């Protein structure tokens, strides 16, 4: 069973926001709009979304930073996921 | 008697949001904007909607996740339906 | 005496929202934005509206579902009508 | 002395909203956004307004229904007029 | 010393809003958004404003009606002026 | 050390708003959105800004009127400047 | 480990806002929307963002002024960064 995002949607799995993660990302505690680190699980096909051609720039397996209050949470087979628009992703975290 | 959605509208039938459904989807209880699982009953023809060409990507019978506060509820022959815009659908749930 | 809607406007006559109508439509009582069943009385010519080409998809005599808080009520010769934009119509009800 | 509306503006003279007018229009008393019957006194030239080509569809002398809270009231030679955008006009009332 | 408006801006000098002016215009006292009569003092060059081609339709010396809460008041050499966008002008008052 | 504005941005230095300035400009005290006189210090290159081609119309050294609540204040080498968008400039003051 | 911004995003490192910095910039204390000086750490590729072609104008190493309440704070390897859209950058500070 899988989530297949539509259009410019992306399914991500949130990584735990601990003080110092293995990858070294720590979310700023007093930021008004908290950033979040997540791993990309599925990527929509892109195409014309709301009258605009969207090209998907992210790939499954990438770690990304996104804005917390964007996206919708879902649970699938006991795992929690977030469905975001690609434009809610701010940056890719590279090792 | 049938509902024939116009433009980019889609008619869906909401699946019950129980703790663990047969398909394994459980809605996150503390999400601000609760996602919903539903089955697609009818799909509008697409075409030019609000000046933008919309191509319908979803099909009757698919299970989808959509944002709860989008859409309008109607009852037809004792059954409740939701009329959504296709853009309110976030992802297709595949078995 | 007749109402001739302009542009993308449509004149509809609201059908009574009873528990079970002849056509089987019952409006969901606890919906935030209540849907409404109505019959189309007059359809505007379409054309360029707010810079966008609008093609009218509905016809006089069709029964439709629309969002309650859209539209403007008028009374003509003792009958009440609603003037809607076509985009406020969600679906056509077919027998 | 005359009011010459610019662009997509239209000058109308409001008809009295009595219980049953000569033309048979009665405004719905409990409508949130009360419709209004008025006669068209002057019509702007249309043309490009806010980057969009507007073609004027109404003519001097027509009776129209418009949304009450749109438009600006002015008095000229002791007569009150309303200056509307054409898009605030919902329908033409024909005898 | 002169005010040279940019783009679609227009400099006007407000005429006094008395009960019955020489030109016969009287502003409606209970209008929510009070119209105003003013004389045009300077007209911007038009051209592309906010991505849209604007052609200036008004001329220095014309009397116009505009919406009160639009525009910015300035004083130059002891005289008060208002700087409006041309789209805030509703109609030209002709004698 | 210099501020080089990007896109359609303009750096201005506010002139003191005294009762009667040397140039004769006095800001209206009871205006809701107070206009401001300023001198242009630096002008961005223009070009495509937010998808729209912007041509810069103002020049270093010009005195301009702008809306007070637009812009961002910065201090550089002890001097205060304001960074505006060109569209926040209403008019040029010519001697 | 690096942050690779997407689209029109830019990663900056905020410089301390002290009364008189080495570069001479002092942020105005009573500004409603406080400007901020920062150094650019990474620049997105630009391209089509929200249907608009964006060309990146800033470079790694430049010092810039941006609006405080724009952007999202992240911590990477113990350092705090801000992820901005290029359009949130007001000016480049040149020595």
**Residue D61's CATH number:** 2.30.33.40
Query: Using the beta-carbon criterion (under 8 Å), do A35 and G9 form an inter-chain contact?
Result: no
Mean pLDDT, rounded, for D63-83: 87
**CA of C53 vs chain D CAs: smallest distance (Å):** 11
- Tens of pLDDT, residue by residue over G65-92, are 998 778 888 888 788 999 999 999 999 9
A38 located within any domain = yes
- Using CA atoms in the order G61, G63, G66, G71, what is the torsion angle rounded to 10 degrees? 30
CA angle A69, C88, B31 (to 5 degrees): 20
Mean pLDDT, rounded, for E42-65: 94
CA distance G81 to F57: 36
CA distance F42 to G10: 24
Nearest to F91 among E11, E51, E69 (CB): E11
Mean pLDDT, rounded, for G16-36: 53
- Contact of D17 with chain C, judged by CB distance below 8 Å, is answered with no
E3 located within any domain = no
List, as ranges, residues 28-67 from B with C-beta within 8 Å of A.
Answer: 28, 31-33, 35, 51-53, 55, 57-58, 65, 67
- Tens of pLDDT, residue by residue over F29-47, are 444 445 678 999 999 999 9
- CA F52 distance to own-chain centroid: 21
Q: How many domains does chain E have?
A: 1
- Give the CA distances from residue F55 to residues B26, F7, F8, G66, G88, in Å, rounded to whole numbers and listed in that order: 54, 10, 8, 22, 20
B87 located within any domain = yes
CA distance D52 to D40: 23
CA distance E88 to E53: 16
Res. G26 pLDDT band, cuts 50 70 90: low
CA angle B77, B81, B86 (to 5 degrees): 145
Mean pLDDT, rounded, for D84-92: 94
3-state helix vs strand vs coil in chain C, percent to 5: 5, 55, 45
- Tens of pLDDT, residue by residue over A2-60, are 999 999 999 999 886 544 445 655 555 444 445 678 999 999 999 988 889 999 999 99
Residues of E in contact with D11 (CB under 8 A): 91
Query: F15 φ, ψ to 5°?
Result: -90, 150
Give the max Cα distance, chain D.
Answer: 41
E53 located within any domain = yes
pLDDT of the residue at D31:
41
pLDDT of E24 over the 50 cut: yes
**CA of F15 vs chain G CAs: smallest distance (Å):** 16
**CA of E33 vs chain F CAs: smallest distance (Å):** 15
Closest CA to G55 of G84, G87, G82, G83: G87
Exposed, middle or buried: residue B38 (CB in 10 Å: 0-12, 13-18, 19+)? buried
Query: Domain range for residue G15?
Result: 9-93
Tokens in use for C56?
């009218």
E48 located within any domain = yes
Low-confidence ranges of chain C (pLDDT < 70): 16-35
C61 located within any domain = yes
Res. G95 pLDDT band, cuts 50 70 90: confident
Q: Give the long-range contacts of residues F58-64, CB within 8 A, separation 24 or more.
A: F58/E6, F58/F10, F58/F86, F58/F89, F58/F92, F62/F92, F62/F93, F63/F15, F63/F23, F63/F37, F63/F38, F63/F39, F63/F92, F63/F93, F64/F12, F64/F37, F64/F38, F64/F39, F64/F40, F64/F89, F64/F90, F64/F91, F64/F92, F64/F93
**CA of A44 vs chain B CAs: smallest distance (Å):** 8
- Chains A and G contact (Cβ–Cβ under 8 Å for 3 or more pairs): yes
- Contact of D91 with chain C, judged by CB distance below 8 Å, is answered with yes
Query: Using the beta-carbon criterion (under 8 Å), do B9 and C93 form an inter-chain contact?
Result: no
Chains in touch with E (≥3 Cβ pairs < 8 A): D, F
pLDDT of the residue at B36:
77
Best E70, E71, E74, E82 member to test F by mutation, with max F CBs in 10 Å, is E74
């Amino acid at each position: 069973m899988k989530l297949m995002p539509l259009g410019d949607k992306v399914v991500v799995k949130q990584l735990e926001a601990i003080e110092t993660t293995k990858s070294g990302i720590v979310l700023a505690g007093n930021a008004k709009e908290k950033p979040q680190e997540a791993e990309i699980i599925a990527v929509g096909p892109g195409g014309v979304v709301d009258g605009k051609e969207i090209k998907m720039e992210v790939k499954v397996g990438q770690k990304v930073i996104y804005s917390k209050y964007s996206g919708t949470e879902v649970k699938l087979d006991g795992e929690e996921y977030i469905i975001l628009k690609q434009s809610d992703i701010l940056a890719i975290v590279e090792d």
